[in-house]
Amino acid sequence: MSNLLEVHKVVKQYGDYVALNEVSLNVPKGSIYGLLGPNGAGKTSLIRIINQITLPDSGEIILDGEKLQPKHVQTIGYLPEERGLYTSMKVGEQCLYLAQMKGLTKAEAKQQLEYWFDRLGIQGWWNKKIQELSKGMAQKIQFVVCVLHKPKLLIFDEPFSGFDPVNANVIKDEILALKEQGATIIFSTHRMESVEELCDHIALIHKSNKLIEGKLSDVKRQFRTNSFEVGILTDNVEGLMYDITQKFTVSPASFKSLNDDLKLDIQIGNATPNELLNILTQRGQVTHFVEKIPSVNDIFIQTVTENKK
Amino acid sequence: MSIISLIIKREFIAKVRNKSFVVMTFLSPLLFVAIAGFIGYLSSMKAETKQIAIHDETGLFASDFVKQNKKDGEFKYLNLSEIDVKALKDSITKESFNGLIIIPKTNNLKDLETKIEYVSNNSPSIIFIEKTQNIIGEKITKLNLEKAKLDTLAIKKAQADVSIHLAKTSGEESLKGLNEIKIGIGGAFGYLIMMFIIIYGNMVMRSVIEEKTNRIIEIIISSVKPFQLMIGKIVGTSLAGLLQFLIWAIIGLGLMFAASAFFGVNVGPTAKIPPELMHSAQQEFSGSAQMYISELWNLPIASILIGFVIYFIGGYFLYSSFYAAIGAAVDNQTDSQQFLLPIIMPLILSVYIGFFTVVNDPHGTIAVVFSMIPLTSPIVMLMRLPFGVPWWQIAISVSLLFATFFLVVWFAAKIYRVGILMYGKKPTWKELYRWLKY
């Protein structure tokens, strides 16, 4: 798969403070790319550079095979974390204005706006002022503004903040629909469950450096601990424990189960799961056998704490 | 449509639609006329006549003062030389009189020059004191002349009244009264520029702050360059400002005509001036008016108007870039005060220089220097223009102004670019300097 966006060794300094230290990223075409990192890691600096709001001190950015240049602002849609609109301007006029700034003609903008207003069921808002709308409603308008010009690359910075669960779901479905239509989406957030749900690639930036990047499944494989959650019904607990502790590291586990079974966390190291299963089946009835897959949250916390020094 | 014109259009419409803008546009001229009318009414009211007692022990001056009663309505002089000084002083404390002039008995007129006293509860106006001194001084001079047996009539005849005819080397004739017109025109234009800069520069700043507090700024500058946004904002706001000024001018002129027509009818019959007198006064007035008007056309009108446009544009853009940069640097209006002071200072300075130095000596060193310095030149040079300024000075001044303008726009754009994305804290001067290097 080719990359829509490539970031090569980008450096950004603010005075003595290094915000980005030779960060490189590859965002594949048609992917949802999770850009993760704690507060102050440099995510926003990077996003601003991609949006050409600021310029990198060194390094280069390739968008769709071309060096990033001013005309590219029309192919990017950006939903910043700090959002807002002109409070005393009417919704329709405001959207038309912002769309025209992205290079649409007035007629195109109007047509697109009608499509999106219809889709999100907000046709009646055209002549309302932003100050008459609730925060969530204003966020919807912003989402529309961000996608109006059919950008190839969408950058969402915390897109779900400020939405109630129903509307967050509406937006999530829209994001997935945009992906279906071929858009590439960069998704910056702290909410790991939405990363888990939506992203197929992730990158983790911490203290101005990129620490992890790759396909979500690859990253998880890299972070796998080779431990299994096991539930087993057995009469001879001592015998079982003796057998498995010979070969593996065992610790008690807790998970939900309908049986009154023994719950264990077993680290198999270099052995295969079958070796463990063989021992278990000899000693009792296996009711639960699952590999412990690290969640994005675990990966995030583990990486960030490891690199604290 | 190009992006800058899109921004200009939005800024213009946003300004013009703003309720306070609409209210200000139509209310200000009314307020202005109302205030002018009120001041006119106040000054047309007759001042209270002040009673001035005169205790003249020499008996030489009282009659001269009493003579004044006929032509002067403001002061009524009473010759109370017969009454004891102490009693008079008491009656002043009881406020029977506003003041008391005491002229002591003396044999030597020379002594009088320093021995006359004025007693009152409140300190008198300078005009009154000068007037009193004049009356006494003239009388003493006259007495001295008589004493020296000089013919006062002959002396009066001998006194010359010189009126110099002014002409310029270029051959144009010039009127003395013309200087007042020149000061008036230069001052009006200079003042107009200052007002425009302060009012609309502030508007630019407010609109930058608004975008920052709305947090819309990040969306906008992901589509346009901060520089384009800044220029669009300044131009859009100034167009709205020009429209407002135009409306003010039209309404103001209309109201003035209405007012003068209204008062003209009122004043005519009450004045009761004999027709012949009125006629001659009219002739005199129209004569001098004609003279003024013809002289007005002799002013370098073209260069004044072109100068006004050039300095107006240069000055306004220079200052509003500062305003935009300040707006970008701060989060709210209160924080802007610290940065505004250095901007307002040169503006006020130039108006002072204009009204004090240029008026006295339009081609003096101070006037020339300040008409070159870019921050003061738009106002000071405009005030000098009606007096005729060598072209090379204008050339230097204009090129300096525009060079500085480009420099400041570059510098303001940098501050602007960094500042609009900084939230939450008030920057220091040091930080602003650091932003220039980002």
Each residue's pLDDT tens digit, B236-261:
988 888 888 888 888 877 877 776 67
3-state secondary structure chain A: CCEEEEEEEEEEEECCEEEEEEEEEEEECCCEEEEECCCCCCHHHHHHHHCCCCCCCEEEEEECCEECCHHHHHHEEEECCCCCCCCCCEHHHHHHHHHHHCCCCHHHHHHHHHHHHHHCCCHHHCCCEHHHCCHHHHHHHHHHHHHCCCCCEEEEECCCCCCCHHHHHHHHHHHHHHHHCCCEEEEECCCHHHHHHHCCEEEEEECCEEEEEEEHHHHHHHCCCCEEEEEEECCCHHHHHHHHHHHCEEEECCCCCCCCCEEEEEECCCCCHHHHHHHHHHHCEEEEEEECCCCHHHHHHHHHHHCCC
Q: Please report, for chain A, the start and end positions of each structural domain, with discontinuous segments joined by +.
A: 3-221, 225-292
A83 lies within 8 A of chain B by CB: yes
Distant-in-sequence, close-in-space partners of B140: CB < 8 Å, separation ≥ 6: B109, B112, B113
Closest Cα partner for B148 from B115, B103, B109, B111? Answer: B109
Residues of A in contact with B213 (CB under 8 A): 84
**What is the distance between the alpha carbons of residues B436 and B438, in angstroms, rounded to a whole number?**
6
What are the structure tokens assigned to B257, written together? 């005509």
DSSP conformational letter for B213: H
**What is the distance between the alpha carbons of residues B183 and B355, in angstroms, rounded to a whole number?**
8
Closest Cα partner for A154 from A179, A121, A124? Answer: A179
Backbone angles phi, psi at A212, to 5 degrees: -135, 145
Q: Which residue has the tokens 């310095």?
A: B373
What pLDDT does B30 receive? 81
Residues of B in contact with A80 (CB under 8 A): 215, 218-219, 222
Contact residues, A window 31-60, toward B, CB-based 8 Å cutoff: 48, 51-54
B222 lies within 8 A of chain A by CB: yes
- A83, A85, A100 member nearest B6 (Cβ): A100
Q: pTM higher than 0.80, yes or no?
A: no
| Interval B79-91 mean pLDDT | 80
Each residue's pLDDT tens digit, B264-318:
544 444 444 455 555 555 555 555 566 666 666 666 777 788 888 888 888 888 8
Triad B123, B128, B129: Cα angle to 5°: 75
What pLDDT does B281 receive? 52
B110 lies within 8 A of chain A by CB: no
What pLDDT does B284 receive? 54
Each residue's pLDDT tens digit, B161-217:
777 766 666 554 555 566 677 777 788 888 888 888 888 888 888 888 888 888 888
B225 lies within 8 A of chain A by CB: yes
The tally of CA atoms less than 13 A away on the side-chain side of residue A270 is 0
What pLDDT does A153 receive? 92
Range B50-158 has CATH code 3.40.50.620: no
- A48, A89, A102 member nearest B223 (Cβ): A102
What pLDDT does A154 receive? 92
Pairing of strands A285-291, B50-56: unpaired
DSSP conformational letter for B74: S
Look at B438 and A14 and tell me if their CB atoms are within 8 Å. yes
Look at B222 and A53 and tell me if their CB atoms are within 8 Å. yes
Which residue in chain A is spatially nearest to B434 when comparing CA positions?
Answer: A15
What pLDDT does A186 receive? 92
What are the structure tokens assigned to A136, written together? 């969530």
A70 lies within 8 A of chain B by CB: yes
Look at B219 and A145 and tell me if their CB atoms are within 8 Å. yes
What are the structure tokens assigned to A111, written together? 């047509």
What pLDDT does B280 receive? 54
What pLDDT does B269 receive? 43
Which residue in chain B is spatially nearest to A45 when comparing CA positions?
Answer: B421
Least confident of A8-12, A132-136, A189-193, B66-70: B66-70
A293 lies within 8 A of chain B by CB: no
**What is the distance between the alpha carbons of residues B233 and B197, in angstroms, rounded to a whole number?**
14
**Quick one: CA torsion of B175, B180, B185, B189, rounded to 10 degrees?**
150
**What is the distance between the alpha carbons of residues A237 and A157, in angstroms, rounded to a whole number?**
51
**Domain span(s) for CATH 3.40.190.10 in chain B:** 50-158
Class of domain A225-292 (CATH, top level) = alpha beta
Q: Which residue has the tokens 């003062």?
A: B65
DSSP conformational letter for B263: H
Residues of B in contact with A54 (CB under 8 A): 417, 421, 438
Predicted confidence (pLDDT) at residue A225 exceeds the cutoff of 60: yes
* ipTM, 2 dp: 0.77
**What is the distance between the alpha carbons of residues B59 and B94, in angstroms, rounded to a whole number?**
26
- A80, A87, A145 member nearest B214 (Cβ): A87
**What is the CATH number that goes with domain A3-221?**
3.40.50.300
Each residue's pLDDT tens digit, A20-44:
888 898 999 989 999 988 888 888 8
